[in-house]
Chain A
Amino acid sequence: MENTDRTSALLERFVPQMTRSTRLEKILVIVCGLLFIWGLYAFVLQVAKGHSITGMRDNVVWGIYIVNFIFFIGISYAGALISGILYLLKVEWRKPIIRIAEIITVISTILGPIYILLCMGRLDRLDHLLIYGRIQSPITWDVIAITTYLIGSMIFLFLATVPDFAILRDSNNPMLGKWRKRFYRFFAIGYDNSEKQRRLLKQGTTIVSIVIIPLAVLVHSVLSWIFGMTLRPGWHSTIFAPYFVVAAVYSGTGVLIIAMWAFRKFYHLEDYLKEIHFKYLGIILLVLGALYGYFTFSEYLTGWYGSEKWELHLIYKLFDRNEFGPMFVYAAFIGVLVPILIIAIPKTRTINGITIASAVVVTAMWVKRYIIIIPTLQTPLLPMQDSRADYVHYSITWVEWALTFSGIAVFFLFFYFSSKFVPIIPISEHVESDDPEPGSSLNKNLNNQ
């Protein structure tokens, strides 16, 4: 693949960032590594001593492991829907952000299911899931759907990265060592940007982007059906599938904005990740926030108005300030109204403002998953056999916190190491772009508006 002057200029810009690490990056890697080791220690302890060292008991059998699982699968929507839809619609401003979105998808789809394994006791019987799994069970559907989705996301990321691998393979930049060259040669699959290859690659990417969108919707629908197919208060709801999908895209967009802000700040990508990208994604976030708020209102209004005994019992717990009240207020009110207000008011619709709104969204969505799972499990339909406080009320232990923070650390580490192998901004997209200066045409559009 012939490297033009423009390609060389882009390589000069991105190769140092890929091959060198700043002091801040090294500190971040060490901190994340230590968190990972802490999580590993907690995991060993959990395997050795059993789940009694977690807060999970006979009644509250799912804790923050499942919260984290839903959370990570939720943020995987960033790539699937944002980049998939934007790719199909040929939206020009997607180009600098799709790589970040796709990496988020793959990492979070790998990390999410690991929390299922942490939640399960007797990992030595893991094969039973495949041997004795029943097709009627939503959990089996979930395993199948997530595996298929992960493979699809990896193919999508890979296809979008092939041209960049080819550029890096053919680069004469001395900073790229021999082993890197071998790596890029293998993953470039002989791509040299010929007319026919370009056509085939585009065909493949289009196919996967079409497949991945309904698949992503299905994955989160199936995830919601794990809850919705039961007759438990707060879970048995017909709108749970679309509610989960909207909440997932909402949190996925939030994580995407935060990741963009971080890379822009630390890799100095101000020329590529411009204010307009944040504003466009901010508007998507606003629409999703309104939609999520509508679903939330509809869900709780129906439950409260119906006055079914157990449903009402659960809702009182959610409204009770001594139980889940503060969490409910954060997830249902602050997590919706604050981001909407920040983005709606022109004065606060800045890069930092939108990133703060995204941070509120992401944390609120984590809390939302918590108040979906825990209060329902604390409201059993049959009397509890053991009514000791630690059996009735779930409390998170340090082991669960360690594994949660460890997961977040691994997410950062995956992201960091990914950015060391592929440019975080797709070079090939910018080489092919008619826009001489990245994002300049967008700015013109904005100014015209």
Chain B
Amino acid sequence: MSNLHKFCKRKSWFLIMTLTFLLLFNCRIGLTSNNYQDESKASPDFTFTCIQNEKEFILRTKISYWTGERDLMVGGAMVVFTNQISDESRILTTIPTDMNGEAVFRIAKKSDKLINEEGNFTFGSIFEGNQDYESAEDYTMLRSLNMHMDFLELESDKKIVVEAYEIDQNGDRIPLDAMDIYFFVPRSFSLLPVGDGWFENGSAQADFPTTLPGDSLGNLTIIAKIEDHELYGNVEAVAVKEWGLARPPVIIQKRRGLGDTDAPLWMVYTLLILLSAVWFHYLYVFYLMIKIKRLRRN
């Protein structure tokens, strides 16, 4: 009994070991075959985003590659933008990425051909790879949202009121609810956050600061943004309003600058003095040559 037990024990160990080995070996084969990659090609960082505003969808793809030291923007990579309806996928356009690794495509919302039966828009971005980089692709599905801004002035207070709603297939409005909205004003180098609000029954509002400098007429560009909504994705609305402090145009009285039609006087004088000095010597040498010639005649 004890021998049989020992044998069974030994045999079960043997079986376990064999199975483990086979499993590991199999997994290894599976891993190598499933995850086979061309090692000569790099795997790029691929980002696909879709922003909608009142009129259009803006599809943006960015391709970059982390070298270990810096982000290398992949320029000239051909990006195919697609649209899916049911099982059918069709190519919208093919655009090469620019020097910043970006390919941007804008398409009007009103086209009925882009929407499927459920009222969804499905866009794709495909990079088929090239001699240096592996292929990559990403898809996004979203619904159309109408969003517009109104501006209220109550004495010295200024308020932005935003309305956002979806129009369903029967033509009824479905208001946006329980969502954040952020407001920005573009400055020289980035977007300046100026306020935020919360959607309730399709409407959100926020106070607007009254001390922002605008252009010479006091105009400010105001951007409202909804970010990463589960149905509508990124939504933007842009409007220009005279809510900034008017900055009078700077009149530069100084003339004779490098950008002017007249050169700075010091430059004119320097050039004249230098040229006169050189050409005086040249003329003097010509005079010496004439003197040499006259000496022969004499």
Contacts and interface: CB of A to CB of B under 8 A. Distances in A.
A200 interface: yes
A190 B292 contact: yes
A135 B76 contact: no
Interface in B111-132: none
A152 B268 contact: no
B293 A384 contact: no
B282 A200 contact: no
A152 B263 contact: no
A192 B285 CA distance: 18
Size category, B interface: 20 to 34
Interface stretch (B24-32, B92-100, B148-156): B92-100
A192 B99 contact: no
Interface string A149-170: 0011001000100100000000
Contacts of A388: 76, 96
Interface in A181-229: 189-192, 194, 196-197, 200-201, 203-204, 207-208, 211, 215, 218
Interface string B233-266: 0000000000000000000000000111101100
Nearest to A159: B285
A155 B282 CA distance: 8
Interface residues of A, number: 35
Interface in A364-400: 380, 383-384, 387-389, 392
Contacts of B295: 190, 194, 196-197, 200
B275 A148 contact: yes
Contact of A201 (B98, B99, B292, B297): B292
A215 B278 contact: yes
A208 B279 contact: no
A134 interface: yes
A387 B75 contact: yes
A211 B271 contact: no
A136 interface: yes
B231 interface: no
Interface string B265-298: 0011001001100110110110011011111110
A425 to B, nearest CB: 23
Contacts of B258: 136
B289 A189 contact: yes
A144 interface: yes
User: B-side binding surface: helix, strand, loop or mixed?
Assistant: helix
Contact of A383 (B99, B260, B281, B292): B99
Contacts of A144: 271, 275
Nearest to B279: A148
A339 B10 CA distance: 78
Contacts of B268: 135
Given A190-B292, A190-B293, A392-B76, A204 B285 contact: yes
Nearest to A151: B282
A324 to B, nearest CB: 16
A392 B288 contact: no
Most buried by A among B100, B261, B282, B289: B289
Given A190-B293, A196-B295, A387 B282 contact: no
A152 B96 contact: no
Contacts of A136: 258-260, 263-264, 267
B291 A200 contact: yes
B34 to A, nearest CB: 32
Interface in B17-47: none
Contacts of A141: 271
A380 B268 CA distance: 32
Interface in A90-137: 134-136
Contacts of A200: 288, 291-292, 295
A201 B295 CA distance: 12
Contacts of B289: 159, 189, 204
Query: Most chain-A Cβ atoms within 10 A of its Cβ — which of B99, B284, B291?
Result: B99
A208 B281 contact: yes
Contacts of B297: 190
B293 A152 contact: no
A386 to B, nearest CB: 9
Interface string A281-322: 000000000000000000000000000000000001000000
16 contacts: A135-B263, A141-B271, A151-B282, A152-B278, A162-B292, A189-B292, A190-B296, A190-B297, A197-B295, A200-B291, A201-B288, A201-B292, A208-B281, A383-B98, A387-B76, A387-B96
Interface of A: 134-136, 141, 144, 148, 151-152, 155, 159, 162, 189-192, 194, 196-197, 200-201, 203-204, 207-208, 211, 215, 218, 316, 380, 383-384, 387-389, 392
| Those 8 A-B pairs whose CB atoms lie nearest each other, nearest first | A190-B296, A135-B263, A204-B288, A190-B293, A204-B285, A136-B263, A189-B293, A387-B98
Given A136-B267, A159-B285, 4 more contacts: A135-B263, A155-B285, A159-B289, A392-B75
